[in-house]
Structure 1
Amino acid sequence: MVRQPLTPSDRRRGELLGELLRHARGDRSMVDIAARSGVSVETLRKIERGRIPTPAFFTVAALADAVGLSLDDLRRALEPQPLTA
């Protein structure tokens, strides 16, 4: 199976996900959140920097739980916004 190239909006959504997780992490360390979520520090770092724009669902769910974000809130924040004229 060939993976389709990411679109600019896919990349932007990945960057936004990273920003949201970084903001929700606050002053807690990456090591703390990585340990709480079971995700490696390096993976967390890459997601926060937008270098993994489409992380696996269970990775996102574990990180969201570790930083106190609901998946519903995360989904709403990452929904494409309609264009206004």
Structure 2
Amino acid sequence: MDDLTKFRRDLLYVVSGLDDPHGLAIHEELEDYYEKDVHHGRLYPNLDTLAEEGLIEKSQADRRTNVYSVTSQGEHELKARREWESQYVDL
């Protein structure tokens, strides 16, 4: 995960943490976190890149809605990141 941009890493965390990770829910969560507008032209290409890298899976809920889920590789990367962070931050 060390080669992911901060934005892609945040996307992976959000997809992992949402109960219903579809595009609009992910978009709203990131806008709340960043406290500014997250453009669709930034969001969806980065979700596609994470899918191409095998960290998330993209599927269709209906004709207009894609849903996302973290793959086992993505879960492994998240766990490795958390273990690395815990060396430096003990909350």
TM-score (norm 2): 0.30
Q: As a proportion of its length, which structure holds more strand? A: 2
Q: Which has the higher helix share?
A: 1
If the length of structure 1 is used for normalisation, what is the TM-score?
A: 0.31
